[in-house]
Structure 1
């Protein structure tokens, strides 16, 4: 009988977690800035087994030499991903037939109606996995957290499960399923509305499962959702920045009752400076308040307003904003849509769309003050419809008629407003997104999609 291969079963050394890790975490200066969307996109393209650059071959050879015994279990083929905290390799699983492999969606799909003869052929063919080499400079507590979350999400639909993990000395590797996918930059300009429905139904199915476990992914972006347009299937990957909801929370004004929030605003330092006749942008000469610290993990251009405003009680709604940015990218045909250098620029980019008034209200919601004197930023901002028309080059025709979005685009924009809601309390949840008319129509467009979802769930 084949053994059930569960996470952390086949380890070179057991993964342990103890107080010394916490001390190392405190001593370590880490950046939670994930690689930019353009920096990592080029590394998501699948490469053929034969096309291996010399530098990549040398890298794989060094990895095999440093990690004793890895080449007895896996045959490294190519490097398929390289990010801020890890490198990912495609490899053949040499021990595939010795274990149960419930994680193998493709095998389950192909074997559903296969004959016994075909099944024997399938068992003899090569089976591939993705080996994630986590950099030794990464925090031990971060590594443990990622593996633990992946283990907890192992049965979630459209979420990349953890097959197993190994540790050799100070090097940890995670073994994950290998998924065929295409570079986002290859198809984002050509994706039609029905195809967008498939993409986001798959993404929000994954996010719903993640959020039901009260887990924040924190780095939703195209390169972390490996999508295969031919199979109309995507897989959510890279939980290196993920955390459980409530981790290191401190009360934020956004969670207070309306009356209490108004009272605090009326008695705030900001209100006092206004009463004293200072300009709205003035600040106290001697400010004794401690600086606010909040989790800023994620990728530039995909961070939600509350992350930029240092909300100290961030929840799963930050992932929904990031998913909304992906939809905005697809509708405008512009990638990356937001491309700021820092958090201040990022806030100003959002202000361009939503206007000064809404950003001021949003800042106050989190106990912050937002002021800008840049004259090009309007008070009310611009509609998403107008932005999409402008980005796609649709202007007035020869008769002076104003352009309009198509009916399916209008429905997509109505859906987008629910995702790009600057108030996280009002922002759409993953469950609400799945049941929204825009995504509910996916079954009308694709009769076989519900069967595929059942297969993944099974």
Structure 2
């Protein structure tokens, strides 16, 4: 494959991208909507079994045929993931021993316990990578953005780093480490609270690394966090929708001082309408206000309220709401927990829990109005404790004793309230979350597990 080296630069750092000699064709824009989480989870597998489906084998053959020379560097084994914007394959790195592989965390851990003599020898065992084939319909800007952000995060062990990238004609592939993991649906119903702590600590550690770089992941969900329950370790993947904080910002009311915000609300058409004694919100016949545009990228059911309300100054804190939805999923044993068809349904689902009053306050925070005349939506909503009891079938008989959560579950719920805070200014950050008492106990749980292993080995 004829190659030239192109150097892409930002902030003084270089990203090496291997490309062929053909001219790049313009790709079409795609929607910023990830696949349905349940459907997408069904497309994600983790297997070392080389017995593959005939259709997948044909797909791999077509890929190798269209991307000249890739089979000389990698032996593609199986398809392990299929999303909205890309397909991911497991492959053996045939040139592993020709390069330094600082990205290989597992190899570093293995060599740490080897003798100096063994360490000096080159390992002959196979080494695996994940090859992400980005669909040609993706925007070139989107592809460059993803590769650049992955490059910036290359030193974080909890984030899947970029090894290298190749382009052949209009096809781009990113080569990433392959992480052994288990499908979320195989274990989420059986996790103990102690295991949830460790899972969440691993996820929050990844988010802290991402947020320290002022990067919004925008698509935090179980299928984008590859977790290995046996190793109690996970890595955050898929930065296809990620962006730097401050990208295309416009002023939003949520960043104003409370007094300034109240003044704007009091002089708004909405306030005048209320003062006139109208029972329901009416709208001006000739509305001259500009329509609001904001980034709504992400997956249905995991978007924060400010994303649904088109906040124009979204920050890294949106990822913390998504992490809260993941914890709510674990506690309720329901996946996906929210299953909205669109943004309006999503807001109503959140209103079911937090109530109409909270949703009105949240909407006004961003200069929006939330109104619903559906009688089943209560003013104050329901507590998360009650939601979890309902979902896990512990509501009990009306005449019987009142059911309550266990003490560990109550600790988890106290933490969950900090994550699922509708006001982004009050929501807990990744750094604060890692210091929260609920997550801090994960270290004790890990030590307890180690003691159990020691007893078995003795």
TM-score, with length taken from structure 2: 0.92
Q: Distance in 1 between matches of 2:322 and 2:221?
A: 7
Q: CA deviation at 1:44?
A: 2.0
Q: Does the aligned pair in 2 maintain the 1:8–1:165 contact within 8 Å?
A: no
Alignment CA distance shift 1:247-1:14 (3 Å): farther
Q: Does the aligned pair in 2 maintain the 1:221–1:322 contact within 8 Å?
A: yes
Aligned residues: 438
- 1:373-384 matches, within 5 Å, as 373-384=373-384
Q: Structure 1 unaligned segments of length 5 or more: list them.
A: 1-5, 451-458
Q: Distance in 1 between matches of 2:392 and 2:222?
A: 20
Q: Distance in 1 between matches of 2:21 and 2:209?
A: 28
What's 1:454 paired with?
Answer: none
Alignment CA distance shift 1:302-1:398 (3 Å): closer
Q: Distance in 2 between matches of 1:116 and 1:384?
A: 54
- 1:51-90 matches, within 5 Å, as 51-90=51-90
SS of equivalent residue, structure 1 residue 409: helix
What's 2:111 paired with?
Answer: 111
What's 2:19 paired with?
Answer: 12
Q: CA deviation at 1:39?
A: 1.5
Q: Does the aligned pair in 1 maintain the 2:29–2:138 contact within 8 Å?
A: no
What's 2:30 paired with?
Answer: 30
Q: Does the aligned pair in 2 maintain the 1:77–1:89 contact within 8 Å?
A: yes
Return 121-130 or 153-162, whichever deviates more: 121-130
What's 1:433 paired with?
Answer: 433
Q: Does the aligned pair in 1 maintain the 2:29–2:137 contact within 8 Å?
A: no
Q: Does the aligned pair in 2 maintain the 1:273–1:284 contact within 8 Å?
A: no
Q: Distance in 1 between matches of 2:313 and 2:22?
A: 30
- In the TM superposition, what whole-angstrom CA distance separates every residue of 1:22-64 from its partner, at most 9, and x where no partner exists? xx68xx4431001111121012221333221111111111111
Q: Distance in 2 between matches of 1:417 and 1:122?
A: 50
Q: Distance in 2 between matches of 1:398 and 1:255?
A: 46
Alignment CA distance shift 1:161-1:263 (3 Å): same
What's 2:336 paired with?
Answer: 336
Let me know the Cα RMSD of the aligned residues: 2.2
Q: Does the aligned pair in 1 maintain the 2:15–2:148 contact within 8 Å?
A: no
Q: Distance in 1 between matches of 2:274 and 2:140?
A: 47
Q: Distance in 2 between matches of 1:398 and 1:376?
A: 21
What's 2:210 paired with?
Answer: 210
- 1:310-321 matches, within 5 Å, as 310-321=310-321
Q: Does the aligned pair in 1 maintain the 2:227–2:234 contact within 8 Å?
A: yes
What's 1:412 paired with?
Answer: 412
SS of equivalent residue, structure 1 residue 44: coil
Q: Distance in 1 between matches of 2:14 and 2:42?
A: 29
Q: Structure 2 unaligned segments of length 5 or more: list them.
A: 1-12, 451-458
- In the TM superposition, what whole-angstrom CA distance separates every residue of 1:164-215 from its partner, at most 9, and x where no partner exists? 1111111111000000111101101000011011101110001001000000
What's 1:456 paired with?
Answer: none
SS of equivalent residue, structure 1 residue 204: helix
What's 1:266 paired with?
Answer: 266
Q: Distance in 2 between matches of 1:279 and 1:136?
A: 51
Return 111-120 or 319-328, whichever deviates more: 111-120
Q: Distance in 2 between matches of 1:121 and 1:40?
A: 41
TM-score, with length taken from structure 1: 0.92
Q: Distance in 1 between matches of 2:284 and 2:168?
A: 53
- In the TM superposition, what whole-angstrom CA distance separates every residue of 1:356-383 from its partner, at most 9, and x where no partner exists? 0000000000000000111111111100
Q: CA deviation at 1:391?
A: 0.7
Alignment CA distance shift 1:15-1:281 (3 Å): farther
- 1:215-294 matches, within 5 Å, as 215-294=215-294
Alignment CA distance shift 1:10-1:281 (3 Å): closer
Alignment CA distance shift 1:441-1:14 (3 Å): farther
SS of equivalent residue, structure 2 residue 190: coil
SS of equivalent residue, structure 1 residue 176: strand
Q: Distance in 1 between matches of 2:382 and 2:398?
A: 24
Q: Distance in 2 between matches of 1:66 and 1:92?
A: 19
Q: Does the aligned pair in 1 maintain the 2:215–2:243 contact within 8 Å?
A: yes
What's 2:142 paired with?
Answer: 142
SS of equivalent residue, structure 1 residue 447: helix
- 1:357-372 matches, within 5 Å, as 357-372=357-372
Alignment CA distance shift 1:351-1:266 (3 Å): same
- 1:81-230 matches, within 5 Å, as 81-115=81-115, 118-119=118-119, 123-230=123-230
Alignment CA distance shift 1:261-1:449 (3 Å): farther
SS of equivalent residue, structure 2 residue 88: strand
Q: CA deviation at 1:12?
A: 3.3
